[in-house]
Structure 1
Amino acid sequence: MAAKLVQTTVTAPVAGELLPLSAIHDPVFSKGLMGKGFGIEPSDGKIVAPVSGEITMIATTKHAIGLKTINGMEVLLHLGIDTVELGGKPYQILVKMGTKVTAGQELAIMDLAGIKKAGKPVTVMTVITNSAANNYQLFLNELDQLVEAGDSVAMVTGEGADAMPAKPATKVGKGKYDQLAHDIIENVGGPENVNSLIHCITRLRFYLKDESVANTAVISDLDGVIDVTKGSGQYQVVIGPAVNDVYDAVIGQLGPQFSDDAATKKAVAETSAAANKPHYGFWGTIQHGFSGIIGVMTASMIPVIGILAGSGILKGILAALTGFKVLSATSGTYMVLNAIGDATFYFLPVILGFTAAKKLGSDPIVLAIVGGVLIYPQIIGAAGKAATAQIAFFGIPTHLVSYSASVFPIIVAAWLGAYVEKFLKKVVPLYLRSVFIPILEALILSVIVLVGVGPVITMISKGLADGIVSIYNFSPALSGFVIGGLYQTMVIFGLHWGLIPIVINDIATNGHSYLNAILSITMVAQGGAVLAVFLKSKDKKLKEISLAAAVSAFCGVTEPALYGVNLKYKRVFVWASIGSAFGGLITGLLRVNNYALSGSLIGFPAFITPGVGIGSNFYGYLISHYGTLLISTVLVFLFGFSDKMLAKNKAKAKTDQLESVTE
C-alpha cells in the first residue's frame, strides 16, 4: 500500500455545541477506543456528511453511518448513546450503502425528542476509525462553541492510501464483513459443523456439532474478532459493536435455516439488561472497583513507563558512582545528571494529571495544573517541616504532605474532574465557560486533594507505620514478613510515606536502619518478578518493557515494574508480593542493617558496616537480597505468568469496554 501525506477538512455533521471526545459519557468514545474525533451536542436533528466520500456502513439499527474518503480515511458517525435498543425508530436514513456523497450533503434525520424521551443522550460522535493505523492527527477548533451543520471544525493530517490493502487469497463477496464471515465459517468447521447461530449484543453464538473441530487460534487472530470463549453449550465469537452486521453476513452465507430469531432476540435482551445494571455482588463489586482503580493507574502510567525506567537506571548509576566516590554529590556534573534522572519522578503528578485525565474524560490541561499545585515549591517545602506542615484552609485544619512522585491522589482528582466539569457546565453560562470553568475546576480539585485526600492518606499511613514499628519491636522476622508482603501495595496508594520519616530518623540518629533493609528487598522482589516475565514471554514489546523495568527496579525504582507489567497482570504482582514477604522474613531473621538512604541491588554499599567493612551484615545482605531475587523470579516464572495472560488481558479489556456501553 503506497502511503502519502493527506490533509482533510472535517465539517460539523449537525448543528450544536462542539465537544472533545473526552467529554462524551461513553468510555468507548471518551477513551479513544474507536479513534480520534469529536462530539456535538445537537440542537436539531439534521445530519449531514462531515467529509466527501462513499457510504460504507449503515447500522441495522440506523444509529451509525460509516464513510470512506478518496484518500482512505474512514469516518464513523454515531448518532446518540446507547440507542441500539430503540431499534432504529428515531432515525430516518436518506442514503444507501455505496452512495457517493459530498461534505454537507444530508444523510439522516434524528428525532431528538424521541431519543430524549427514551432516556438516551443525543450526542453525535464523529470518529476517524483508522486514525491509529494511518497516524492521523486531528486539530480541533475552539471547543464548547456553537456550530452549524457544515461548518469547518477540524483539520486531519496523516498518511493516506492510494489503494486498499491486499485482501486475503480467498476473496469472498463485496460486503464489508463478507470476508470475515467466510473465514469464521471456515474455521468453525464449515456449514456441516454448525447446528444453528444466534447473537447477543457483542458475540456470535454458534451451536456446533463438534467444538473440537473449530480452529480457535485462527479465529482469535482474525481482523475483526476480539476473542473466542465457550459457555452454555455455545461457541462464542466476540465481535463487538459490529456483531449485527457480521451476523447478517454469516447467515447470508450459511442460509436462513441456521438462524433462530426468537433465541437471538432473547439473548440480546438478556445481555442488554445485564450490561445496564450492576451484577457483581458485594465482593464482586469491590473486586471490580479495585480492578478499575488499578486499570486507570496502569493505563495512566503506560505513556511514561519508558522514561521512568531510564530515569531509574540513571539514578542507580549515580548512586553507584557516588557510593564508590567516583563522583561527588556536590559537583555540577552530579547536579545536572541528578536533575535529569529525578525530574520525571518529581513532576510525576503533573504528567499523570494529563494522562489520567485523557483516560477518565477530564480536562488534561486542568489536571496537569492540579498536579502542579500538589508539587508547588512552597507546599512541598512546608510539608517537609513539622512546624509548617499543619495549616488551616479557610479555618479547616489541613496536614500537608509531599506529593512528589505520588500516584494515587492525582488519579482521584482526575476521576473527580469529569464530574466537576459536568457540574460546572450546568451552572456557568456558555459565554463564560472558557475563562471560568478551568480555574474553578482546578480550584475545586486542588482543595479536595489537599484538604480531603491528603490528610486521610496521612492518617492511614501513620497508623500503618505505628503498627509496623510495633510488630518490628515484637519480632523483626514477623515484621519483615508483613512489611515485605505489603510495602509495595502501600506504595500504590501512597500509604508508604509514614515509614519514610522513620527510616530517615533511624539513619540520622542511629546511623543505621533495619527497616530500610526490609524496604530494600521489596524493590528486588518486584524486579525479580518482571525479570521472570522477560525470561518467559515471547512477546517482543513486553520483553523490552520487562527488561528495562527489571533493571530500573534493581536500581531502586519500582514504578516501571509495578505499573508497566506487574499490576497489569495482577497474578504477577501477587506472586511478587509473596516472594517479597519471604525475602522480608529472611532479612528480619538475619537482622540485616542498612547504613544509608539507599537500597535494592545497586545500593549494596549501604550495607557495608562503617568502620568494619565487608562482614556478617554484608553477607546477610547478599543472602536476603539475592535470595529474594531467586524466590520472586522462580515463583512468577512457575506460577505467575504465561503469554496466555497477555492475549486474555487484551481481549478482556476490549470486551469489558464494549459490553459496558451496550454497543
Structure 2
Amino acid sequence: MNYQHCARQILNLIGGKANIASMAHCATRLRLALVDNEKLDQPGIEKVAGVKAVFIASGQLQIILGTGVVNKVFAELPGLTGLSMSSTDEVKQQSRANMNPLQRLAAVLSNIFVPIIPAIVATGLLMGVLNLVNNLNQRGYIHIPADNGLLPMLSLFSSAAFVILPILIAFSAAKEFGCNPFVAAVLGGILIHPDLQNAWMTSHGVAGYFDLWGLEVGKVGYQGTVLPILFAVWVMAHLEKQLRRLVPNCLDLVLTPFLSVLIMGFISLIAIGPAGRWLGEMLSDGIMAVYTLAPMAGGFIFAGLNQAIVITGLHHSFNAVEAQLLANTGKDVLNPLISMAVIAQAGAVLAVFFRTQDQTLKEIALPACLTCFFGITEPAIYGVTLKLFRPFIIASLAAALGGAFTAAMQVYSLGFGVTVIPGSFVIEPGGLGAYLVGLLLTFGLAFVGTWLFGGCRKESARDQAQNDREISGELS
C-alpha cells in the first residue's frame, strides 16, 4: 500500500489543506476537524484503498484505517499540509464549532463522565461480588460468621465511589469547564462533609438546619448525587474567570481560590444543591416510573432507538443519566438495554460477512462484528449496516425486541460505561442469566433477519447499483 498516495487522496477529498482546522489520530482512526464540512467528499473517501469506513461524529471527521495503517498515513500528512499533529483534545475543541447545541451538550457530558467510568465500573464489580457472596452465604453454600469483617469491608469498598462521586465529578468537570480542579474538588468535599446529614438518610426527614439570620438551610449532604455538583462547578468556572479579571496578579494565588470556595459554598448549599437534587430525583423517578409501569414498552423504544441516537452523537449524555440512576436508585436499567442495541449490530454485520460477495465489505464486517462484543459499534454502523440501510433497520428491530425482553425480566446493572461482554461483569448477579439470554436472542434475531431480508444475499448494495447501471446502459 502506498501510504503517501492514500494521504494525498484523502487530503484532496476533504477540500485540501486549507480546510483542516486540526488533525490527530488514535489507534485506528484519523480524526480531523474541518473548517467547512460541505467541502468533504465522503463517498470519494470511502473508495480510497485502505479506508474501512468514514463518518462524522461529535463534529469530527473520523476515517477508520486500522491499527498500524493509520500511523503511517498520518505520518505523511504533516509533510503534505505543513500542519503539525494536534492532541485529540484540541481536535475536539475545534470540532465543536460544527456542532449544534445538543451535540455540544452531549460532548461536554461525555468529556466529564468518561474519565470517571473506571471508578464506577470497579464499584459495580465490587457490588456484584458483595451480592454474590451474600447470596452464597444466605443459601448455606459458604459460611461467613456474623462477626467476620469480610462483608462489611466489601460493602465499604463497593460504596466508596458513590460516596465521593461529587468530588470525582467536580475534578473532571473543572477540567472541562476551565476552572481549578483542586478547588472544585474542595467544593465537592463541602457537599459531602461528614457534618452534613447523609444523603441516603433524608427520606426520614432533615435532621437539622443552619440558621442564617432567619434563612434556614438544611444540613443535608449530597453523597452520590450528580446534578448539584455539576451545576455548581459550572457556576464556579464563570465566577473564577470574573475573579481573575478583578483580583490583582500578586493576590490571585490566594484570593481567587478563597473567594471561589467561600462564595460557591454558600450558593451550593443554599440554592444549587436543593435544586439539583430535585431535578435529579425527578429524572430518575420518571425513568423508573416508565420502567415500572410499562417495562417492555420502555425497553423496546430505548433499545430500538439507541443506535440511531449514536449516529447523532447524543448518546454520550446517557452517562450522566445512568450515574444519576445509580445514585438515586442503586440500579442502572439503561445499560442492559444499550447492550442489546450493541449486540444487534454484531449479529447484523456477521450476517453481512457471510452473505456478501464484496471482499472490501467482508474485510470491514468481521472486525466490526468483533468490536461490537466489547461495546464499540461505530465501525459496524458506518462501515456496514447504515451503508446498506436494511441491516441497520433489522438490527434496530432486533434490539427493540431484546430490550423488551430484558426490561420484562427486570435486568439492571450496578455500573455503567461497559456493555455486552465486559458489561456482564456489572450486571446484578440475579439477572445475569436473563441478560445472557437477551444477548443471544437479540444477536440471533439480527443475524437471521439480516440473512433473510438484509439485501446482501449475493452482493453488496454498491455492487448491485453498479450492475444496475451497466444493465441500464446495455439496454439503452
TM-score w.r.t. length of structure 1: 0.39
Inter-partner Cα distance in structure 1 for 2:218 and 2:402: 32
Contact 2:207/2:219 (<8 A) preserved: yes
- Partner residue, 1:319: 131
Which structure dedicates a bigger proportion of its chain to helix?
A: 2
Question: Is 2:117 the counterpart of 1:305?
Answer: yes
Q: What SS is found at the alignment partner of 2:126?
A: helix
Partner of residue 387 from structure 1, selected from 194, 197, 205:
205
Contact 2:170/2:187 (<8 A) preserved: yes
Question: Is 2:161 the counterpart of 1:360?
Answer: no
Inter-partner Cα distance in structure 2 for 1:324 and 1:369: 40
C-alpha change, 1:459 and 1:365, in structure 2 (3 Å) is: closer
- Partner residue, 2:48: 215
Question: Is 2:255 the counterpart of 1:425?
Answer: no
C-alpha change, 1:491 and 1:361, in structure 2 (3 Å) is: closer
Inter-partner Cα distance in structure 1 for 2:288 and 2:154: 36
CA deviation string 1:383-435 (max 9, x = no partner): 62333267456355556765333344333333333321111122323333222
- Partner residue, 2:454: none
Structure of higher CA gyration radius: 1
The residue type equivalent to 1:441 in the other structure is S
CA deviation string 1:227-284 (max 9, x = no partner): 578xxxxxxxxx99x99985579xxxxxxxxxxxxxxxxxxxxxxxxx999887xxx4
The residue type equivalent to 1:355 in the other structure is S
The residue correspondences of 1:518-597 to structure 2 (distance < 5 A) are 522-526=334-338, 582-583=404-405, 586-587=408-409
- Partner residue, 1:160: none
C-alpha change, 1:468 and 1:388, in structure 2 (3 Å) is: same
Q: What SS is found at the alignment partner of 1:309?
A: helix
CA deviation string 1:136-181 (max 9, x = no partner): xxxxxxxxxxxxxxxxxxxxxxxxxxxxxxxxx99xxxxxxxxx9x
- Partner residue, 2:256: 437
- Partner residue, 1:373: 190
Which structure dedicates a bigger proportion of its chain to strand?
A: 1
Inter-partner Cα distance in structure 2 for 1:402 and 1:354: 18
* Unaligned residue ranges in structure 1 (runs of 5+): 1-168, 171-179, 230-238, 250-274, 501-515, 551-560, 562-570, 593-598, 608-620, 640-663
TM-superposed deviation, 1:320? 0.6
The residue type equivalent to 2:258 in the other structure is I
Inter-partner Cα distance in structure 2 for 1:390 and 1:277: 45
The residue type equivalent to 2:186 in the other structure is I
Number of paired residues? 341
Q: Which of structures 1 and 2 has the larger relative contact order (alpha carbons within 8 angstroms, sep 6+)?
A: 2
- Partner residue, 2:277: 458
The residue type equivalent to 1:296 in the other structure is N
Contact 1:379/1:400 (<8 A) preserved: yes
The residue type equivalent to 1:449 in the other structure is S
Inter-partner Cα distance in structure 1 for 2:334 and 2:35: 46
Inter-partner Cα distance in structure 2 for 1:388 and 1:424: 34
The residue correspondences of 1:81-230 to structure 2 (distance < 5 A) are 183=4, 187-188=8-9, 199-200=18-19, 202=21, 211=44, 215=48, 217=50
The residue correspondences of 1:492-531 to structure 2 (distance < 5 A) are 492=321, 496=325, 500=329, 522-526=334-338
The CA RMSD measured in Å over matched residues stands at 5.8
* Unaligned residue ranges in structure 2 (runs of 5+): 22-33, 55-59, 64-72, 84-93, 304-316, 350-364, 377-385, 387-391, 412-424, 451-476
Contact 1:484/1:584 (<8 A) preserved: no
Inter-partner Cα distance in structure 1 for 2:320 and 2:186: 23
Inter-partner Cα distance in structure 1 for 2:231 and 2:124: 25
Inter-partner Cα distance in structure 2 for 1:335 and 1:294: 34
CA deviation string 1:564-591 (max 9, x = no partner): xxxxxxx99x979956862466248xxx
CA deviation string 1:510-535 (max 9, x = no partner): xxxxxx9xx57545334555677899
Inter-partner Cα distance in structure 2 for 1:207 and 1:344: 44
TM-superposed deviation, 1:446? 3.4
Inter-partner Cα distance in structure 1 for 2:262 and 2:111: 23
Q: What SS is found at the alignment partner of 1:377?
A: coil
CA deviation string 1:450-505 (max 9, x = no partner): 33333223334555677678778xxx6525644897799596276548964xxxxx
Inter-partner Cα distance in structure 2 for 1:228 and 1:277: 14
The residue correspondences of 1:192-271 to structure 2 (distance < 5 A) are 199-200=18-19, 202=21, 211=44, 215=48, 217=50, 246-247=80-81
Inter-partner Cα distance in structure 1 for 2:61 and 2:95: 22
- Partner residue, 2:154: 337
C-alpha change, 1:631 and 1:364, in structure 2 (3 Å) is: farther
Inter-partner Cα distance in structure 2 for 1:387 and 1:189: 63
The residue type equivalent to 1:188 in the other structure is Q
Question: Is 2:108 the counterpart of 1:293?
Answer: yes
TM-superposed deviation, 1:360? 2.7
C-alpha change, 1:216 and 1:393, in structure 2 (3 Å) is: farther
